[in-house]
Amino acid sequence: MPRFYCPPPLPAHGSFNLPPDAAHHASRVLRLRAGEPVQLFDGEGRECHGIIEDLSGKQVVIGQLTEIEVDRESPLRVVLAQALSSSEKMDWVIQKATELGVTEIQPLATERSVAKLSAERAAKRTEHWQQVVIAACEQCGRNVLPAIHPPLDIMVWLQQMRTEKISKFILLPQGATSLQAQEKPQGTVVLLIGAEGGFSMAESDSALLCGFTPVKLGARVMRTETAAVAGLAALQTLWGDFC
């Protein structure tokens, strides 16, 4: 059943006009017709099912709305702190992180990040990433949009994390332990992933001083996008909804 993101408020009953972007996608891209069933979600946890009643011009009317009680969120709250990489890799990581149930995504500018963003470009990229998140939620069935934060310098962000009393992990090839060896987190988990060239020594040392535990995923060195997906999948397997 096609799914469409509709910013709140989303009515639980009656009829509803799809927002312009969703209406265009329904009529011009998917070429849906009257009488076909659809799902709507508001990004804050609500989902409604309905039937297309009318498609005329740029307007798509959904009727027979019924709110559905469903929760597809992981019980594990995970913040992915991802060093900026090339645009295609970053899009892919954000898409897959959303599918894997991440709660928040914090892009980070690091010393070895290939992508260097001005303030204007960072704002545009954040808007773009928000659309990637929405599309991933439409595809995977999530009704809650993970928060995508504007990029921050890693050193600034680490200082913000310094006083946070939560589980904090940094993936390092030379990490002395594994995720499996850690105690089950009681709250939010932060997973810090480096750029294509990894972390500088100053960055990794600062992370350790800010309470991050260095962990590794096996004996092989992974690409940044592989490390993010593998790390999130491992977290969900150990303590989330994969187990």
User: In the predicted model, what is the mean pLDDT of residues 164-189?
Assistant: 92
DSSP string, 38-89: EEEE-SBS-EEEEEEEEEETTEEEEEEEEEE------SS-EEEEEE---HHH
Look-up of token digits 């005329």: 56
Which range is least confidently modeled, 36-50, 169-183, 202-216? 169-183
| Distance from C-alpha of 88 to C-alpha of 50, rounded to nearest angstrom | 35
Q: What is the pLDDT of residue 236?
A: 97
The answer on 219 and 122 residing in a single domain is yes
| Distance from C-alpha of 220 to C-alpha of 141, rounded to nearest angstrom | 33
Which range is least confidently modeled, 43-47, 92-96, 160-164, 173-177? 173-177
Q: What is the pLDDT of residue 118?
A: 87
Q: Which ranges constitute the DSSP H helices of 141-223? A: 154-161, 201-209
The answer on 82 and 64 residing in a single domain is no
Return the bridge partners of 127, or none: none
In the three-class reduction of DSSP (H, G, I as helix; E, B as strand; rest coil), residue 100 is classed as coil
Q: Average per-residue pLDDT in the chain? A: 94
Query: Which residue range forms the structural domain that includes residue 235?
Result: 78-239
pLDDT tens-digit map of 69-94: 999 999 999 999 999 998 899 999 99
Query: Considering the chain, what percentage of its residues have pLDDT values greater than 90?
Result: 87
Residues 180, 203: contact at Cβ < 8 Å? Answer: no
Domain boundary among 48, 68, 88: 68
The answer on 209 and 92 residing in a single domain is yes
Residue 73 located in a structural domain: no
Q: What are phi and psi of 187, to 5 degrees?
A: -145, -140
Q: What is the pLDDT of residue 48?
A: 96
The answer on 153 and 55 residing in a single domain is no
The answer on 83 and 60 residing in a single domain is no
CATH code of the domain in which 25 resides: 2.40.240.20
Alpha carbon dihedral 148, 149, 154, 155, in 10-degree steps, equals -150
The answer on 63 and 160 residing in a single domain is no
CA 4 vs CA 24, 25, 71, 212, 214: distances in Å: 11, 9, 17, 38, 40
The answer on 95 and 57 residing in a single domain is no
Domain boundary among 50, 68, 86: 68
Count structural domains, the chain. 2
Q: What are phi and psi of 75, to 5 degrees?
A: -70, -15
pLDDT tens-digit map of 7-32: 999 998 889 999 999 999 999 999 99
Q: What is the pLDDT of residue 42?
A: 96
Query: Considering the chain, what percentage of its residues have pLDDT values greater than 70?
Result: 100
The answer on 193 and 163 residing in a single domain is yes
Residue 219 has pLDDT above 90, yes or no: no
Residue 40 has pLDDT above 80, yes or no: yes
Whether pTM > 0.75 for this model: the answer is yes
User: In the predicted model, what is the mean pLDDT of residues 151-158?
Assistant: 97
Q: Where are the beta strands (DSSP E) in the chain?
A: 3-5, 16-17, 37-41, 47-56, 59-68, 78-83, 104-109, 147-148, 152-153, 167-171, 189-193, 213-215
The answer on 111 and 229 residing in a single domain is yes
| Distance from C-alpha of 162 to C-alpha of 139, rounded to nearest angstrom | 36
Please tell me what DSSP assigns to residue 221. P
The answer on 48 and 95 residing in a single domain is no
